[in-house]
Structure 1
Amino acid sequence: MTSYLNMHLALEQRREAAKAKGEQGPRVIIVGPEDVGKTSLSKILLAYALRQSRQPIFVDLDVNEGSITMPGTLTATPINQIIDVEEGFGSSATTSPSLGSSMLPIVYYYGYPDPGENVKLYKVLTAKLAQSAKRRIAEEDDSRISGMMIDTSGLIDSTGYEIIQHCVDVFDVNIIIVLGHERLYSDMARLYKDRSNINVLKLAKSGGVVDREKVFRRQVQMRKIREYFYGLPKFELSPCSTLINLNDITIYRVGVGSLAPSSALPIGIDRKVSETQLVKVEPDDTIRHSILALTAANSPDEQTLLESNIIGFIYVYL
């Protein structure tokens, strides 16, 4: 814990220097394998910053759990209130004013539990999220000085390295914290040795970190989904039910869910499938018990739909 406090003090020095020079504060990304405490470290550093009257932007790129909204989402939100021990980041204030802590994040829907399942889509959405976060920083001095804290997934294979480098570039990261993995630290230090504006730092994982089984991870996902609709135990929400004419809505899926084998294609014909292609879904029994994301797009243009942020979610049960 002492090393985490020292990290906060170093970040606070960066913020004071940024304030004096009229520059941006530290833009920190925390990387490492699964179950080393990346989200916990994010909360600790954010809480320290709040106690210094800072208002950093928290960016959650871990699509497996969803710290603020739903699993499968990429979010960014200014942190302006202390993170509750029981509630964590609280809930997103999308249903009604809440008596508990609530966030107003900007959300992009990825829809997979693993960034490696659709790398192209993940890159498109992280780039859009970065634009939104940097726009917020440009508009508010408090956010500009306080900087960003970026939490990531535990993917550290070749695909994970590609995604980390992409995120560093689009978010203009200047501090990379490698948590609990010596080889990853060495690789990051080597990759950015010629980038003098980027510091690669190493921290040991907390002694309280434990490995989580897949069953437990799934339980966490289900709990987050329930919390989105029904709130937290102390501050409950009341989701409404309504009937919708299926002719009034249009449902899309990103990418193609199932494909015929390449051997079934005509001779000389190559498969042409885009990872970001929108496929219209006909409403039928297959969408029952599904969660659909509601887009804020004001145009049916494919690129607009793909890059639009999300205004909420609906659960289909009939």
Structure 2
Amino acid sequence: MTDSLPPRTVVLEPDSEFRFEVDFKNNASIKLIKGTAEIFGTELAEGNEYSFCGRKAAVYTWHGCTLEIQGSFLVEYTANETPMVSYLNAHLAIQDLRIKAKQANDMGPRILVVGPHDVGKTSLCKILASYGYRQGEKPLYVSLDTAEGAITMPGAVTATTINHLLDVEEGFGSSATTAAIGSVAVPLAYYYGYESPADNVKYYKLVTEKLASTIQRRLAADDESRISGSIIDTFGLVDHVGYEVTQHLVDVFAVNVIIVLGHERLYSDLTRIYNDRQDISVVKLHKSGGVVERDRAFRTQTQKAKIHEYFYGTSNYELAPYSMLLNFSDLHVWRVGETVAPTSAMPMGMDPQQAESELVKVTNLDMCLHSILAILDAEDTETEEQLLDSNVLGFIYISDVNENTRKMTVLSPAPGRLPRNHVLMGAFKWLET
């Protein structure tokens, strides 16, 4: 529900947009009264009220429209200069690649969207995915920005097929974040556990390579998705680590189109790096003038909101999470790259960089308090190397740890026993309120 402020009318001219921000403490609503409009490529239904909280977005119209807005907007204004025509042209070029792929019975386009923080990479990816779906395609949306948790949970690299319109209010909707553990609706995910690829470059490369390999196998068995291709959303690093990881992603995902958003130097450098690769196109697009820098506090709130959504659902699809008491022996808790011993104290022949992707058993379970743990799809008998190859079935939250009774209280989005006992711990903490 929005507050008691009276509704207001906003009239948009053709090729313009209404840009708005709503903080996490307030609610605001937007209703399309007349004309046509869209948010991130998804058309608004006339007369339907859409509610927003903790969002920064824009309502765009190609032909003009009238909106009714109500509630507490932190920022609100209209803009006549938008990059939407260039974004549409990018979609049309991608669609042409799909048509050629279908005629040749080949792989569809693999689009990698890169650029610094806060230039609208995720917004562009959503627009391209939505436009593709509206033309009958089912592109694969790949989220590699582990700080965002765009599809499931912060810390995960994830892929999901766009087989429905993106929800205007909830992004990827309840199917992505509120499906029960083990459900077929859960997107394909591997758990990295940190905000930035720079926190553990070797392990980030490992999990993205595993994700890419699994995607390739799935696409090989699904002609429709193979021709629709993939749209890959990335992190905001443009330093030497960002360049290194970007080139790794181009290789493992077999990228053939790189879209550089809002960064001239990055575009110039990538054009030079792939100058001799006739199979890779590097394209530059301008960022939207409505893109704003998100401070650390907003990013943290976004992460907390995403975690809360996973366990408690959304405003349109509420969940009642299940709290259970487990013995310490019921879970096998692991971390990656946590070896803190100096090189001189490591076992003979162990490379310090090797430790960055080594599994370490967590024996002091007090460390797990308020942590998000990823449930690995691995049997109890599997080796540590096999555990690193395992994708994620779902996530649980440790709300209490009692060393005296050797029991812990676990919050799960679904009742019943956990599907597996191997869990992976990352750096993300969450204090349930």
Scaled by the length of structure 2, what TM-score is found? 0.69
Q: 2:212 aligns with which of 130, 135, 150?
A: 130
Q: Which moved more, 1:239-248 or 1:35-44?
A: 239-248
Paired position in structure 1 for 2:371: 290
CA distance in 2, matches of 1:302, 1:158: 31
CA contact (8 A) 2:141 2:230 kept: yes
**SS of alignment partner, residue 275 of structure 1:** helix
Per-residue CA deviation, residues 229-276 of structure 1 (Å, 9 max, x unaligned), is 11111211111111111112211111116x3567xx57xx99854101
Paired position in structure 1 for 2:321: 239
Deviation of residue 285 (structure 1)?
Answer: 2.3
CA contact (8 A) 1:31 1:178 kept: yes
Deviation of residue 288 (structure 1)?
Answer: 1.3
- Answer 1 or 2: which has greater helix percent: 1
CA distance in 2, matches of 1:270, 1:80: 49
Q: 2:303 aligns with which of 206, 212, 221?
A: 221
Q: Which moved more, 1:84-93 or 1:5-14?
A: 84-93
Aligned residues: 310
CA contact (8 A) 1:58 1:149 kept: yes
Q: 1:277 aligns with which of 339, 358, 361?
A: 358
CA contact (8 A) 1:68 1:103 kept: no
Paired position in structure 2 for 1:94: 179
CA distance in 2, matches of 1:89, 1:186: 33
Paired position in structure 1 for 2:292: 210
Where in structure 2 are the equivalents of 1:128-207 lying within 5 Å?
128-207=210-289
Scaled by the length of structure 1, what TM-score is found? 0.93
CA contact (8 A) 1:32 1:181 kept: yes
Deviation of residue 300 (structure 1)?
Answer: 3.2
Q: 2:94 aligns with which of 8, 11, 17?
A: 11
CA contact (8 A) 2:181 2:393 kept: no
Identity of aligned residues (%): 54
CA distance in 2, matches of 1:97, 1:116: 31
Is 1:310 equivalent to 2:392 in the alignment? yes
Paired position in structure 2 for 1:68: 151
Deviation of residue 68 (structure 1)?
Answer: 1.0
Counterpart code for 2:384: E
Q: 2:123 aligns with which of 40, 43, 48?
A: 40
Q: What do you get for the CA RMSD once the two structures are aligned? A: 2.0
**SS of alignment partner, residue 7 of structure 1:** helix
CA distance in 2, matches of 1:297, 1:96: 14
Counterpart code for 2:144: L
Query: Per chain length, whose mean CA-contact separation is higher, i.e. which structure has more relative contact order (CA < 8 Å, sep 6+)?
Result: 1
Is 1:107 equivalent to 2:192 in the alignment? no
Q: Which has the larger radius of gyration?
A: 2
Per-residue CA deviation, residues 83-103 of structure 1 (Å, 9 max, x unaligned), is 0111101242432899xxx95
Query: Are residues 277 and 16 of structure 1, via their aligned partners in 2, closer, same or farther at CA, if it must alter by over 3 Å?
Result: same
**SS of alignment partner, residue 36 of structure 1:** coil
Deviation of residue 182 (structure 1)?
Answer: 0.3
**SS of alignment partner, residue 185 of structure 1:** helix
Structure 1: runs of 5 or more not aligned = none
Query: Are residues 127 and 97 of structure 1, via their aligned partners in 2, closer, same or farther at CA, if it must alter by over 3 Å?
Result: closer
CA distance in 1, matches of 2:259, 2:277: 15
**SS of alignment partner, residue 6 of structure 1:** helix
Q: 2:163 aligns with which of 80, 86, 91?
A: 80
Counterpart code for 2:170: E
Q: Which moved more, 1:294-303 or 1:15-24?
A: 294-303
CA contact (8 A) 1:61 1:152 kept: yes
Counterpart code for 1:41: L
Counterpart code for 2:179: T
CA distance in 2, matches of 1:261, 1:149: 41
Counterpart code for 2:254: D
CA contact (8 A) 2:200 2:356 kept: yes
CA distance in 2, matches of 1:249, 1:104: 22
Query: Are residues 230 and 126 of structure 1, via their aligned partners in 2, closer, same or farther at CA, if it must alter by over 3 Å?
Result: same
* Shift >3 Å, 4+ stretches: 269-273
CA contact (8 A) 1:74 1:109 kept: yes
